[in-house]
Structure 1
Amino acid sequence: MYRKRHIHRTILVLSFVSLDVVLSVFANLSFFSHYFQHSLRTSLLSLYLLSVWALYLLDHLWDAKKETGKKTLRSNFYLQNKVGIASVIGIGILVVSILGIWYEWKFLFQNLPFLFAFGIGLVLVIQKIAIVPKEILVSFFYTWGILLPFPHCSETDWILFFFFLHVLCNVLLTYQIDRDWDKEQGTFTFNLWVSPRHLTSLVRILLVLGLFSLLWLWRYQNLDIGFILGLGLSYLWLLVTDLFCQNPNTKKITSELAYLPMFVPEIIFFFSALP
């Protein structure tokens, strides 16, 4: 029993410090790197993962300090360890700055429109003056950011659309868990004007439609089965999580890890290359 509680606590801590999100970003980049046959430089991959990690840590620490009333488990964790977390954020920002200036300045310069747009979107959300629901903004910038390293991607590629749809469903599900917090902060989200039951039904419909559409792509567009499996299993993972996970913390962690099947194409390629 003690060992089970210890494992559960360890998983919670890993989720609190957003390592599940970092792993998911790595899975996304791995999937599209293999899909577009475009390898990523170690410096660029490190820049991505550290940037996402520092950004999520900073966001959670900011939320913990702003939270009034009864604190959540995550907020208590951040407040109890704020010095250590702030140090990690500072070191992360320093390393990201070094990587950006010394190794990836050209990549950053080429993608200034994204950086400016992301900055503006961030300000609009923080100032509570965004006219687009937060879920849409987060899904849009997440998808755009993941695709930045791949210059040959086509806007008409259906895989990109279904990736965005999965991201949106994931965000809609996980943000339901923070419904009370968003309401308290006055953040413009779907949760403010759509009931949990209707929102959950919408997400399930989108996930089922996405699954069947991916099967259609495989059948009629001759898309490699590895990529269909990677994205299709991610859809299935999220759908099963929504249907069977009742505990909010478990549901959030499992939803964040719904991108792990996107490692499937790399795994298939690795084993197919063995003698």
Structure 2
Amino acid sequence: MKLLKVFSRYISWLSIDVSIGAMAGMLFFERLLLSSLQWPVYLLLAMAVWSIYTLDHLMDVRQQNPPLSPRRAFHHSNRKPLAFFLGLTIMLGLVGAYRWFGWGRELQLTFALGVLIVGSKLLVGKGGPGWMKELSIALFYVLGIVWLPVLRAEHTDLVWQAMLFLPIYIGVAFMNLLMLSFLDQDEDRMAGFFSAASTLSPTLLILWIRRLAFALILGCLMAFILLPSFYRPFACILLLMGLFHYVVFFHPNLSPEQKRVQMEASFTLPLVLFLL
């Protein structure tokens, strides 16, 4: 049990759980939109997500003093090997993307999305309210996983019923980030990091989280009841993700680290689509 706890902690610190969750999200939209994606696409997505999160963590620990949390302390003490693997992953990802896609429309649009993400991060970091950081991350995270499924889908499959799941998925990701901001608020404030908790009071942030959770749960239930039967498994998955977040976040006997690990693990729930 102790070994499993240590293993799950390192999986979380290394952002491997986030990468697996992104692949599960892409599977969700591939099946929803009846697209056809091959395994290299999933590998390239995992490499991209891992690179983005690792780069962000390394930028957070550029100062000489050890960071406050075990996660940041880990990245601080291992910044050199992580930076090496980050550079290697980026290089292999760029070469792999060019060999797999060629310099065609898909790769060009993907690079354009990457530039938009970086530009948005800079703008929000300079002048936006704290919650805009979490919202922009959620928005671009979901756009990143739905990008290729949409490009590969037939026009007849891009119906409004399927597109309803896009804002719900963004809402779940946004709720996850608001919850993480609340859990990390003391540490972020001491380190001077920009987040929703830096501009919203704890009471107001909790209120936002509760209202968003109830809205997502209600939206999933309505989708399950009102949409055709094809969409019900997808509504169930998002409903479970939302409920799991709510129960774990408000569980009084879990530590912030345990809550983080379990909430991130909920993003792997779309993998059950392999069984359907």
What range describes the TM-score normalised by the shorter chain of this pair? 0.7 to 0.9
**Corresponding position: 1:138 with 2:137:** yes
- Give the superposition deviation at 1:68: 4.6
Deviates more, 1:182-191 or 1:43-52: 182-191
The aligned residue for residue 180 of structure 1 is: 186
**Corresponding position: 1:9 with 2:6:** yes
- Give the superposition deviation at 1:67: 7.3
8 Å contact kept, 1:229–1:264: no
The aligned residue for residue 273 of structure 1 is: none
In 2, distance between residues paired with 1:155 and 1:114?
23
The aligned residue for residue 15 of structure 2 is: 18
- Give the superposition deviation at 1:73: 0.7
2:249 corresponds, among 239, 242, 247, to 242
**Corresponding position: 1:198 with 2:204:** yes
| Consecutive unaligned residues in structure 2, runs of 5 or more | none
CA distances 1:208-248 after superposition (whole Å, capped 9, x unpaired):
22212222222122243211221111111111111216311
Name the SS for the 1:135 alignment partner.
Answer: helix
- Give the superposition deviation at 1:112: 4.1
The aligned residue for residue 255 of structure 1 is: 263
- Give the superposition deviation at 1:52: 0.7
8 Å contact kept, 2:69–2:187: no
Matches within 5 A, 1:140-155: 140-149=139-148, 150-151=150-151, 152=153, 153=158
- Give the superposition deviation at 1:168: 0.8
Number of corresponding residues: 263
The aligned residue for residue 233 of structure 1 is: 240
Task: Name the Cα RMSD after superposition.
Answer: 2.2
8 Å contact kept, 1:135–1:172: yes
Deviates more, 1:99-108 or 1:164-173: 99-108
The aligned residue for residue 113 of structure 2 is: 114
Name the SS for the 1:148 alignment partner.
Answer: helix
- Give the superposition deviation at 1:196: 2.0
In 2, distance between residues paired with 1:113 and 1:77?
33
8 Å contact kept, 1:130–1:188: no
2:90 corresponds, among 79, 90, 93, to 93
Alignment CA distance shift 1:122-1:198 (3 Å)? closer
8 Å contact kept, 1:20–1:257: yes
Deviates more, 1:128-137 or 1:6-15: 128-137
Name the SS for the 2:37 alignment partner.
Answer: coil
TM-score by length of 2: 0.86
**Corresponding position: 1:56 with 2:53:** yes
Deviates more, 1:65-74 or 1:213-222: 65-74
Q: Tell me which amino acid in the other structure corresponds to 1:212.
A: L
8 Å contact kept, 1:28–1:262: yes
CA distances 1:7-26 after superposition (whole Å, capped 9, x unpaired):
22221111100111011101
The percent identity for this pair of structures is 22
1:102 corresponds, among 75, 93, 99, to 99
- Give the superposition deviation at 1:178: 2.6
**Corresponding position: 1:210 with 2:203:** no
In 2, distance between residues paired with 1:141 and 1:154?
21
- Give the superposition deviation at 1:251: 0.9
In 2, distance between residues paired with 1:83 and 1:187?
22
- Give the superposition deviation at 1:121: 1.6
In 2, distance between residues paired with 1:201 and 1:67?
37
8 Å contact kept, 1:31–1:266: no
In 2, distance between residues paired with 1:70 and 1:50?
25
**Corresponding position: 1:46 with 2:54:** no
Q: Tell me which amino acid in the other structure corresponds to 1:139.
A: A
Deviates more, 1:197-206 or 1:228-237: 197-206
2:272 corresponds, among 243, 246, 264, to 264
TM-score by length of 1: 0.86
Deviates more, 1:11-20 or 1:219-228: 219-228
Deviates more, 1:106-115 or 1:182-191: 182-191
In 2, distance between residues paired with 1:112 and 1:74?
30
Deviates more, 1:227-236 or 1:70-79: 70-79
8 Å contact kept, 2:181–2:196: no
CA distances 1:167-201 after superposition (whole Å, capped 9, x unpaired):
11011111222323443565553212222232123
8 Å contact kept, 1:143–1:163: yes
Deviates more, 1:197-206 or 1:142-151: 197-206
